[in-house]
Chains A and B, each alone.
Chain A
Amino acid sequence: MRAYAAVLSARVRTLLQYRAAALAGIACQVFWGILRTAIFGAFFAMNPARSPMSLPEMVTYIWLGQSLFRMLPTGADGDVRALIRTGGVAYELTRPLDLYAFWYTRSVAMLAAPMLLRAVPLLGVAALFFEMLPPASPLALAAGLASLLCGLLLSAACVTLLTISLLWTVSGDGISRMAVIAVWAFSGILLPLPLFPEWLQPALALLPFRGLIDGPFRLYMGHIPAEQAPGVLLHQLGWTLALIALGRWLLGRGIRRMVVQGG
């Protein structure tokens, strides 16, 4: 375990070196947050009665999304991509570590570090200046945080899967772009999931994407009551385990057919 913790911490320290990027990212997120709450507010004003969410809930959902969007799985691990392109991946296999666990740890770090770096100031700004709601209750906060952690684990499983796909496609851009579209469409980051049409809801409930941010956000706001938290967590963990199993199987196959070129 110590080894994986060390990998995690090294990765966080690496990412923390890029403070300017984080600051720019925060400014950008604030701008989009203002824009999106304005747009959704305008829609809401047209027909408040039919909305499945109240305006303050929607504003809160949007600001949570702006603050935490870096935890979404939108591409393979850039470091491993570079290693695969340059052949440095050979060194990864000379470590006495389970390669899947190694890469999964890298994915967790890749998502968690920038997310934490941005989330704290952004949530502060949103709560102070943009009317983001506090958690519905202490229990709702606990359920939201637990679900957020599971969402991170789920997201890391997705990233690791995208990373493993690089063993076949090298550049991996195609698969990553498709993944980005699916994540943007079905996670709730673009449009809160409760606002999707009724007939799509069963499918959304089944897909893994709602476990990324929608579940945690709605638990936090009490839009999903805290009693239903176990169901949300089970859905997240079930998908996480399934994606980990798939990733492990693919990685095993990928390594057997791997060719490390050159040198």
Chain B
Amino acid sequence: MPQIVVEDLQKRYHVAERTAGLWGAVRGLVHRRHRVVEALKGIGFSVERGEVVGYIGPNGAGKSTTVKVLAGILVPDAGRCEVNGRVPWRERIEHVRRIGVVFGQRTQLWWDLPVVESFELLRDIYKVEPGAYRKSFDDLVARLDLGAILDTPVRQLSLGQRMRCDLAASLIHAPDLIYLDEPTIGLDAVAKLAVRDFLRELNRTRGVTILLTTHDMDDIEALCSRVMVIGEGRILSDGTLDGLRAQVSGERRLIVDLENGSGAFEHEGVTVERREGHRVFLRFDPRQVPTAGLIGRIAARHAVRDLFVEHLPIEEIIRRLYERIPA
């Protein structure tokens, strides 16, 4: 049985509306208008143990709502949802014992206490045995390189340090499933790489299932064997990264470095995206224009120093997919 099963999950929010300005504020005292926002319009998916699933979508698409329902924080309006065989919000306490959660924009550490004291507090909250705690603690400190910052109060940590500590905090009780809501938000390039390396190792060595929401496509490319795209409260796409590419566009990009940058560049079925000096960026669909033949024709007609073919960047794929979402 899959570790996460979601079927036809729905969640509506009632948002109080107020007209702008003083008069609007006064009117709001007497008469409240409510707007219904449908955050989830019946989504469904399942996740097997040990998978790393990227969950992406534009802001307001319903990513965080899904994660919060899966974490037992929010109660949905309709639909079925089971994690490890439990309904998260109905058996919340038993459910959360076995999951870890990181909301990238917030910290779960005690602001005024040294990092290590937050860990000890979580150890007591999750009733982790001393031996198991020691092992898990040493492992996390080594892998996330926390040794030097354990005695620092959380309020003095940099964002990258804080995120590493938050990751460790979510894993103290050795959960077999973690939800990461934008774990790399605001981090610099080095810190992002550290987080990705750690997550990859975590999945590989401990078999932890990871559900990750992000806006950073490098996270997806580096970590996720599977990508789910949500838009306007519906799942738009679910599958491998390659599958997603194929669904949106089979196009490839051909980058050609010429000996001599000038001159027209026209071939059938090929569009010139842009030129940068001696470099020309072309786009074509290999199903209509076979790659080998195209390269041959280009090499015959131009003085080519170098050329290479690549997929469309994932950002481009996602942008096209988002554009298809009915507004």
A: which residues have CB within 8 A of B? Answer: 2-3, 5-7, 10, 13-14, 17, 86-88, 90-91, 93-98, 255-256, 258-260, 262-263
Taking A7-B125, A88-B106, A97-B125 as given, write out 16 further A-B residue pairs in contact, using a Cβ cutoff of 8 Å, ordered by the A residue number. Answer: A17-B112, A88-B107, A88-B108, A90-B106, A91-B101, A91-B103, A91-B106, A91-B108, A93-B73, A94-B73, A94-B101, A95-B125, A96-B96, A96-B97, A96-B125, A259-B13
Known: A6-B125, A7-B121, A260-B68. A96 touches B106 (CB 8 A): no
- CA of A71 to CA of B108, assembled, Å: 28
Please list 28 pairs of residues, one from A and one from B, whose beta carbons are closer than 8 Å in the complex, sorted by A's number.
Answer: A3-B126, A3-B127, A6-B120, A7-B125, A10-B110, A10-B117, A13-B113, A13-B117, A14-B112, A17-B112, A87-B103, A90-B71, A90-B101, A90-B103, A91-B103, A91-B108, A93-B72, A94-B73, A94-B101, A95-B96, A95-B125, A96-B97, A96-B126, A256-B75, A258-B73, A259-B13, A260-B68, A263-B105
A6 touches B108 (CB 8 A): no
Contact of A263 among B64, B117, B124 (CB under 8 A): B64
- CA of A2 to CA of B128, assembled, Å: 11
User: Chain A residues near B232 (CB, 8 Å)?
Assistant: none
User: Chain B residues near A96 (CB, 8 Å)?
Assistant: 93-94, 96-97, 125-127
Chain B 63-98 near chain A by CB (<8 Å), digits 1 or 0:
010001001111100000000000000001110110
User: Chain A residues near B120 (CB, 8 Å)?
Assistant: 6
Minimal Cβ-Cβ distance residue in A for B153: A17
Known: A7-B121, A263-B106, A263-B181. A94 touches B113 (CB 8 A): no
B117 touches A97 (CB 8 A): no
Chain B 272-308 near chain A by CB (<8 Å), digits 1 or 0:
0000000000000000000000000000000000000
B99 contacts chain A at the CB level, 8 A cutoff? yes
B121 touches A6 (CB 8 A): yes
B219 contacts chain A at the CB level, 8 A cutoff? no
Chain B's interface size range is 20 to 34
- CA of A87 to CA of B94, assembled, Å: 23
Q: How far is the CB of B71 from chain A (nearest CB, A)?
A: 6
User: Chain A residues near B121 (CB, 8 Å)?
Assistant: 6-7, 10
Q: What are the 5 tightest A-B residue pairs by CB atom distance, in nearest-first order?
A: A6-B124, A96-B97, A91-B108, A3-B125, A14-B112
User: Chain B residues near A260 (CB, 8 Å)?
Assistant: 68, 73-74
Chain B 160-184 near chain A by CB (<8 Å), digits 1 or 0:
0000000000000000000001100
Most central of A86, A259, A262, A263 by chain B CB within 10 Å:
A263
Chain B 107-140 near chain A by CB (<8 Å), digits 1 or 0:
1101011000100110011110000000000000
User: Chain A residues near B113 (CB, 8 Å)?
Assistant: 10, 13-14
- CA of A209 to CA of B113, assembled, Å: 34
User: Chain B residues near A10 (CB, 8 Å)?
Assistant: 110, 113, 117, 121
Minimal Cβ-Cβ distance residue in A for B101: A94
User: Chain A residues near B99 (CB, 8 Å)?
Assistant: 94
Minimal Cβ-Cβ distance residue in A for B125: A3
- CA of A35 to CA of B124, assembled, Å: 46
Minimal Cβ-Cβ distance residue in A for B126: A96
A90 touches B127 (CB 8 A): no
Q: How far is the CB of B150 from chain A (nearest CB, A)?
A: 16
- CA of A2 to CA of B117, assembled, Å: 15
- CA of A88 to CA of B92, assembled, Å: 17
Minimal Cβ-Cβ distance residue in A for B14: A259
- CA of A185 to CA of B120, assembled, Å: 42
User: Chain A residues near B96 (CB, 8 Å)?
Assistant: 93-96
- CA of A259 to CA of B71, assembled, Å: 14
User: Chain A residues near B92 (CB, 8 Å)?
Assistant: 93
- CA of A144 to CA of B182, assembled, Å: 53
A3 touches B101 (CB 8 A): no
Q: How far is the CB of A94 from chain B (nearest CB, A)?
A: 5
Contact of B106 among A87, A255, A258 (CB under 8 A): A87
Most central of B13, B120, B121 by chain A CB within 10 Å:
B121
- CA of A7 to CA of B124, assembled, Å: 9
User: Chain B residues near A256 (CB, 8 Å)?
Assistant: 75
Most central of B71, B73, B126, B181 by chain A CB within 10 Å:
B73
Known: A90-B103, A263-B106. A98 touches B124 (CB 8 A): no
Known: A14-B112, A14-B113. A263 touches B73 (CB 8 A): no
Known: A7-B125, A263-B182. A98 touches B117 (CB 8 A): no
User: Chain A residues near B72 (CB, 8 Å)?
Assistant: 93-94
- CA of A256 to CA of B182, assembled, Å: 25
- CA of A98 to CA of B94, assembled, Å: 11
- CA of A98 to CA of B124, assembled, Å: 14
